[in-house]
Amino acid sequence: MEESIKQIKTFKLLNNRILQEGVCLDGGVLKVDVFINHQIDPYLMKQVSIEFIKRFADLKINKILTVEASGIAPAVMLGYLMELPVVFAKKRKPSTMSDMYQTVVHSFTKNEDSALVVSKDYLTEKDHVLFVDDFLAFGNAGCGIVDLCRQAGATVEGMGFIIEKEFQHGREALKRAGVTRIESLAIVESLEGNRIKFKGI
Amino acid sequence: MEESIKQIKTFKLLNNRILQEGVCLDGGVLKVDVFINHQIDPYLMKQVSIEFIKRFADLKINKILTVEASGIAPAVMLGYLMELPVVFAKKRKPSTMSDMYQTVVHSFTKNEDSALVVSKDYLTEKDHVLFVDDFLAFGNAGCGIVDLCRQAGATVEGMGFIIEKEFQHGREALKRAGVTRIESLAIVESLEGNRIKFKGI
């Protein structure tokens, strides 16, 4: 009982922040530059991380994986609280990186393809990965991560997102890619008419 | 006395990590992908943040500023411990950003110019900024931040770097740009012969 009340509280905290400070733009874009994507509220990142820890409490994880740049803040806070290393996949090959896994993902927001690379040094068959990111939209970054982990022989134990835009169907794409545990802390059912409608509310 | 011992310990911790896990590459590159630039050690980020808090203890700061992507981890941990918002400058203009300050900085590592942008919503004349970043090399990102803050009317109170490559003279560039308080937690005097030599050791 206590547990479920806390969970609802955390939802409310995040939902309220999104309602109060999120901005809807045309094309299904939800802009949360106030606390995630440009300015970051570190306290909210801690609340988000605690919620992820609860939801994935039954999993054995040894590494947090994310994608630069907006995923780094929640990933670092989660890694700090769980005492785990964090690895962020890069969107282009650094000149100093030689031995890596790579894949290509399409960003609908930016309308372009980009690489997703991770060094072979930091993703191996020993890794049981929890992937976290700011948004689940079409699921392209997540599917890219599945591909990188497959190349490395690493196991994707779960994926956690701060905000899911359900109407862009990323969850289905991730399920098709074999991800069995997906948790999103705020699920936006629709942005029609530039109004934020949360699932189940 | 207690204070100075702690400070030396923190130095040692970071210096030892750099010596043990850093990799020297040609062209004055020090690769610390193991704990900062690709894999992140969140516990080290906390140690680094505590050291920044001590060194800038006399300043009145209301915002932590950094640059994507590698600056985000220490900035978020520092913002969390200091209970301050974090803003990360972006290296290109997002399609969803309209009203912004921008400047151009040259990256010697990547050998290219890139934009540095920050929304007018998150940097104003009310801000007293502590800028933190992973590396101080030639000082170009720092000088770009000075320019963005000048445009916004914000005050740069100080700049903190995890690692300074002294032989690339970024500190002088920042001083010329008017930055009066610069703190680096590990100062590399030379990487000659691909050997890491710390200043004063």
Mean pLDDT over residues A81-109, rounded?
92
| Nearest by CB: B73 against A31, A76, A110 | A76
Three-state DSSP class for residue A76 = helix
Q: What total number of domains does chain B contain?
A: 1
State how far residue A101 is from chain B, nearest Cα, in angstroms: 13
Ranges of beta strands (E only) in A58-127 are 63-67, 86-89, 100-107, 112-119
Q: Is A90 on the interface with B (CB under 8 A)?
A: yes
State the best of B17, B36, B40, B45 to mutate against chain A, taking most chain A CBs within 10 Å.
B40
**What's the CATH code of the domain at B131?**
3.40.50.2020
CA distances to A31, A99, A175, A180, B30 from A168, rounded to whole Å, are 15, 34, 14, 19, 41
| Nearest by CB: B122 against A38, A110, A121 | A38
Nearest CA in chain A to B110: A95
In which residue are the tokens 């059912």 written? Answer: A189
pLDDT higher at A76 or A112? A76
**Bridge-partner residues for A156, per DSSP?**
A129
pLDDT tens figures, B144-181? 999 999 999 999 999 999 999 999 999 999 999 999 99
Mean pLDDT over residues A106-128, rounded?
92
pTM of the model: 0.94
Number of other CB atoms surrounding residue A16 within 10 Å: 11
Three-state DSSP class for residue B31 = strand
pLDDT of residue A10: 52
In which residue are the tokens 């690493």 written? Answer: A154
DSSP A137-192: SSSHHHHHHHHHHHHHT-EEEEEEEEEEEGGG-HHHHHHHTT---EEEEEEEEE-G
pLDDT tens figures, A25-45? 988 899 999 999 999 999 999
Instruction: For chain B, give the percent of residues with pLDDT over 70.
Output: 95
In this predicted structure, the answer to whether residue B9 has a pLDDT above a threshold of 60 is: no
Region of poorest pLDDT, from A96-110, A119-133, A143-157: A96-110
B38/A122 Cβ within 8 A: yes
- Which residues of chain A make contact with B85, given a CB cutoff of 8 A? 39-42
pLDDT of residue A71: 98
Nearest CA in chain B to A90: B38
The amino acid at B187: I
- DSSP structure class, residue A27: T
pLDDT tens figures, B75-97? 999 999 999 999 999 998 888 88
pLDDT tens figures, B11-22? 789 999 999 999
Q: Structural domain of residue B87, as residue ranges?
A: 2-198
Sheet hosting strand B63-67, strand order edge to edge? A39-40, B86-89, B63-67, B128-136, B155-165, B182-190, B197-198
Mean pLDDT over residues B49-69, rounded?
97
The residues, any chain, with a CB within 8 Å of residue B1's CB and separated by 6 or more, are none
